Amino acid sequence: CYGIVTVPTGPWFCRKCESQERAARVRCELCPHREGALKRTDNGGWAHVVCALYIPEVRFGNVTTMEPILLSMVPHDRYNKMCYICEHQHRESKARTGACMTCNKNGCRQSFHVT
């Protein structure tokens, strides 16, 4: 689920901890959450593997290692949608963060962050 090809025998660090980048700068480009299984994107940012798996236009540079996460095909329209859940939890500042999925039911226009 994180693209680990072989299980290491010694200490193992996720990509975020391995990078030693300041935690304040690390955030998912597809949702408002900062914690979790993040990997580098093709533009030098970060994204959750789960967000990448569920947004149809997102690709992996290497499918086996699940990195980098390629965001270039995500339409700008996805970034303009408002998350229904964030909005109704009175987190308006987060409701417009990242890229949202739209419900597939015919006629439904609700959008949500994958996470």
pLDDT score for 93: 85
Q: What is the number of residues in the chain?
A: 115
Question: Quick check: is 103 in a domain?
Answer: yes
Tell the residue number behind the tokens 């980098």, with chain if given: 68
Question: Quick check: is 90 in a domain?
Answer: yes
**What are 54-79's pLDDT values in tens digits?**
999 999 999 999 999 999 999 999 99
For residue 70, what are the β-bridge partners? 59
Residue type, 83: C
Question: Quick check: is 4 in a domain?
Answer: no
By the 10 Å C-beta count (0-12 exposed, 13-18 middle, 19+ buried), 68 is classed as buried
Question: Quick check: is 79 in a domain?
Answer: yes
Question: Quick check: is 7 in a domain?
Answer: no
Question: Quick check: is 49 in a domain?
Answer: yes
Q: What is the reported pTM?
A: 0.89
Question: Quick check: is 24 in a domain?
Answer: yes
> Which CATH number characterizes residue 89's domain?
3.30.40
For residue 41, what are the β-bridge partners? 69
Gap between the Cα atoms of 60 and 64, Å rounded? 9
What is the domain range of residue 104?
Answer: 15-112
Question: Quick check: is 95 in a domain?
Answer: yes
Gap between the Cα atoms of 80 and 115, Å rounded? 17
The DSSP secondary-structure symbol of 83 reads: B
**What are 20-48's pLDDT values in tens digits?**
888 778 899 999 998 999 999 999 999 99
**Number of domains composing the chain:** 1
